[in-house]
Amino acid sequence: MRLRFIMVVSMMSGIHELGVTAAMRTRFEFDLHTTATPEQVVEVLTDFSSNRPKRWPALSAKLYRVHRVGDTDADVQEGQDFPKFYAIWHYDWSTPGTVTMTVTDSDYAASGGIHSIVATAGHDGGSDVHGIWDITAKNTSANIGVAVMRVAGARFFRVYYRRVLDGVATGTR
């Protein structure tokens, strides 16, 4: 895995040096099981309170801004401190058990990219979660991050979401 990451970074550096600004698109799907119910999954994904950065540890409190919240949709800016980036997402949870986030503006991702989560009742009272991540880099430097997600994104989201969602089920998030 480390060698693959070094190769991707080297490849992206070479592209940058050549002045090529081709956007890289990465799409992957992932599945996980959590002890959180489908209702709890949707609730934590659509909690736009000031507590959101505490519930989602990778989220930067400094970059988090709620622009608008409706009955089944919202427009929210979220990002990370390191590496520093942000996106404004349009959240839609009008379909039961499903939250779809669409990029409307970002310093790294092209508008129209999506991240979708579908939670269905699991056999044990928890949820089976299916996720889709389909993002296109907006610029050459963002290509590196999108390339890393191509390699490690599905595993990252399985681990991260399971930690957050299981924490919701136990009341620690």
CA distance 27 to 117: 14
Q: Which of 36-40, 145-149, 152-156 has the highest mean pLDDT?
A: 36-40
CA distance 80 to 60: 5
For residues 145 and 26, the answer to whether their CB atoms sit within 8 Å is no
Provide the sign of the torsion angle of the four alpha carbons 79, 157, 163, 124, taken in this order: positive
Three-class secondary structure of residue 20 per DSSP: coil
The residue-averaged pLDDT of 106-119 equals 96
pLDDT digits (tens, 9 = 90+) for 98-110: 999 999 999 999 9
Q: What is the mean pLDDT of the chain?
A: 87
Task: List the structure tokens of 31.
Answer: 């599945």
In this structure, of 2-16, 26-40, 49-63, the range with the lowest mean pLDDT score is 2-16
pLDDT at 42 over 70: yes
Confidence grade of residue 149 (pLDDT, cut at 50, 70, 90): confident
For residues 80 and 59, the answer to whether their CB atoms sit within 8 Å is yes
Provide the 8-state DSSP code for 35. Answer: S
Confidence grade of residue 146 (pLDDT, cut at 50, 70, 90): confident
Burial of 135 (0-12, 13-18, 19+ CB in 10 A): buried
The residue-averaged pLDDT of 86-98 equals 98
Task: List the structure tokens of 29.
Answer: 């799907």
Task: List the structure tokens of 147.
Answer: 């390339």
105 forms beta bridges with 88
pLDDT at 70 over 90: yes
Residue 105 vs residue 171, higher pLDDT: 105
